[in-house]
Structure 1
């Protein structure tokens, strides 16, 4: 009997995009895929059979309000009903991406029971991963250091899966032409994760004044775009602001260097494309986990780390200029990123989940 894979995900793109990458790999192998999507409304339509699960009031694993408890209870009942129904038709296996939005589904999987696997994007495991890792058939992760936090579990470093559309590598001049960017000269890509980063975009925009010969492509995030555009306009001689970048493959292929937050998804994509970066960890991330991610990539040789409280337009410009004026250093960083990257992450996860 053919196995069906259920993928539980939700929250931000950092959790959802790896889930979609695994789903794409499963679909290519002819597997049935059902996505259980929790958390806040995700605007993009998913190209797979998808059912929404109640978990909208759960944030950062907080159960301090009646709304959160009701949402969790409703989500567990929904997940039990769906998993029980699917289990009657065929064997099912569950892959969960570890965000708080997967909590109801993982509770249901333990009650039925259903065989499940966890995917952890960050070096420091999230609360949901830490709770459920002991009973998971395997925990897939990005960083070797994560193993120390999950002793007694079956932890496998596969890397963080990247969406098929982001995996395209395009010749630099062609990528810039496709995006309408200058084909000559050096280019800095500024990104802040799937939602953008307001302070990062603002400081990068002011840094353009100190680097007139360098072009900046700055992703602001949709909710920040109008505010940041009001500062200097949407375009200047050496910058362009965009609310969102649909073709991230072209953006990475265009860049000589990136300035980015340090979520697991961004790090995986930067490594895959071999883009040296200055990582600015989000200071309010849970238990400062982005800093741990950033330090790991720095120690691997692929990034520099600047903390938010030391980041100014001037300090950012100085750090960028030092790297851009040192092609040998950039080449060393690119080679380090190639060693860190895991281009076959989704394939490895699927092959292991099919066997275990």
Structure 2
């Protein structure tokens, strides 16, 4: 590509589920083209999103637009959305004119829609990365204009109409997440290195139902002495869970949110959590079997479909939320960990990881090749 600079804009954020795949792809592109070409990468986000809170550690310039999603419940706020979207389209038009990208990469969330819409209008090549088994509304609406669509799950294909190329890659995971040190993790969370660790994940916003199920389980039974909990409660529930858990369990490390997910996963032997696409990708990449509790109100029931993929591969088990009142959740976790089934799950995940290329590698390589095609230049 000579001395010319390739420019890539990533549009996606709001939550970690949309932001972290974008970071994983951007990081891999940066590594891939090192000493071969110059690449300028920029992110587009909002002040409301996780990307703004992470702006100092993001590693890439962050450009802000004012946009918000539509509330699912009837609310007066939704009356303002059309006007906000018009403003976001104007901001995106000015931003893309300024940045002049070769490719726009959309990873979902409300922030990606106006940017990708303007990219299509300006005939800028766009690609989509869809994390879930049931594609989000942005992916479904803009699929026809995308040059590539990278899917986390094969079954998402049936919901898309596009002339672009669909590639099933799995979901990209940041390399840093997979390189945690167990000894560092044990020290950081004050855990016992001799005990097995059950990780409870509530996601960045927390999952109150999951937290309540774990609390109920602690009230029913004593956690065996050889086990301990590492519990991400989410910021919303942290104080309540801390107060209610009290002295019900020894060796329990609670935290609202972690910036170092590599340490969280490195400390764990088994995970309990929801079935968001990013969570499943990270658990699999880190070799962790899991008990999944799909969020029943997710769009298109995508969490249940996400979880079914891992269950079918014998990497996870599922407990329906409606059954939590009659299930001893921690008891189920301990029983699973002590079983031969758990050992088989670990072996299956290890074989799966060794048998396929990381999604971030596949996507990054394809985007670089796409830039070369756009510029009609050798790379």
TM-score between the two structures when normalised by the length of structure 2: 0.86
Q: Which runs of 5+ in 2 are unaligned?
A: 371-379
Matched, 1:319 2:310: no
1:116, 1:60 → 2: CA distance?
28
1:110, 1:301 → 2: CA distance?
41
Per-residue deviation, 1:182: 0.9
How is 1:220-239 mapped onto 2 (pairs within 5 angstroms)? Answer: 220-233=233-246, 236-239=249-252
1:73, 1:183 → 2: CA distance?
55
How is 1:246-285 mapped onto 2 (pairs within 5 angstroms)? Answer: 246-285=259-298
Q: Which runs of 5+ in 1 are unaligned?
A: none
Structure 1 stretches of 4+ with a deviation exceeding 4 A read: 59-64, 339-343
Which of 316, 327, 336 matches 2:348? 336
The residue aligned with 2:140 is 130
Per-residue deviation, 1:355: 1.4
**Change in 2 beyond 3 A, CA 1:60/1:349:** farther
2:188, 2:329 → 1: CA distance?
28
Which of 9, 26, 32 matches 1:23? 26
1:253-289: per-residue Cα shift (whole Å, max 9, x none)?
2211100110010000000011000000112211211
The residue aligned with 1:69 is 82
2:208, 2:326 → 1: CA distance?
14
Per-residue deviation, 1:178: 3.6
Tell me which moved more, 211-220 or 21-30: 21-30
**Change in 2 beyond 3 A, CA 1:57/1:135:** closer
1:153-207: per-residue Cα shift (whole Å, max 9, x none)?
421112211123212143x455323432111122100002222212212221332
Per-residue deviation, 1:313: 7.5
Per-residue deviation, 1:150: 2.7
Aligned residue for 1:32, secondary structure, equals strand
2:85, 2:313 → 1: CA distance?
39
1:109, 1:151 → 2: CA distance?
19
Aligned-residue CA RMSD in angstroms?
A: 2.3
**Change in 2 beyond 3 A, CA 1:340/1:123:** farther
Per-residue deviation, 1:56: 2.2
1:321, 1:343 → 2: CA distance?
32
Aligned residue for 1:56, secondary structure, equals coil
Matched, 1:188 2:198: yes
Aligned residue for 1:245, secondary structure, equals coil
Tell me which moved more, 27-36 or 188-197: 27-36
The residue aligned with 1:352 is 366
8 A contact 1:234–1:241 mirrored in 2: no
Per-residue deviation, 1:344: 2.2
1:143, 1:76 → 2: CA distance?
30
The residue aligned with 2:41 is 33
Matched, 1:110 2:110: no
How is 1:79-98 mapped onto 2 (pairs within 5 angstroms)? Answer: 79-87=92-100, 92-98=102-108
Per-residue deviation, 1:79: 0.6
**Change in 2 beyond 3 A, CA 1:339/1:163:** same
